[in-house]
């Protein structure tokens, strides 16, 4: 028995190295992980966008409340000044 020639050695070496899998050949657990990760990213992004929108609405409402309080105070002051100047 002689030693194998170079062609036999290279053929044996090629058969030992795994070939990359096509996407449809990957295990279903891999795709489950990919979908879960994508879903989580979408969920987090949606929550951040919603929270930013709520923060903006809260700022707008706070500004409107402050303006309304100032307006009510002006009306109260006018009413008080009318009561003081009106003779009884």
Given a cut of 70, whether residue 88 has pLDDT beyond it is no
Q: Could you identify the residue written with the tokens 């050949």?
A: 25
Which of 8-12, 22-26, 46-50 ranks highest by mean pLDDT? 46-50
Averaged pLDDT, 70-85: 87
Q: DSSP class of residue 26?
A: S
Model confidence at 19, in pLDDT bands (50, 70, 90)? confident
Mean pLDDT of all residues in 49-78: 91
| pTM: predicted TM-score of the whole model, two decimal places | 0.45
Measured between alpha carbons, how far is 47 from 54 in angstroms, rounded to an integer?
Answer: 10
User: Of 9, 12, 34, whose CA–CA distance to 23 is shortest?
Assistant: 34
Among 10-14, 15-19, 69-73, 78-82, which range has the highest average pLDDT?
69-73
Alpha helix stretches (DSSP H) within the chain: 6-16, 28-85
């Amino acid at each position: 028995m002689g030693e194998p020639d170079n062609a036999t050695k290279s053929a044996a070496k090629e058969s030992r190295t795994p070939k990359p899998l096509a996407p449809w050949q990957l295990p279903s657990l891999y795709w489950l992980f990919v979908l879960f990760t994508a879903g989580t990213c979408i969920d987090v992004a949606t929550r951040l966008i919603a929270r930013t929108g709520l923060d903006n609405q809260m700022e707008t409402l706070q500004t409107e409340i402050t303006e309304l309080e100032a307006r009510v105070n002006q009306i109260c002051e006018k009413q008080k000044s009318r009561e003081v100047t009106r003779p009884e």
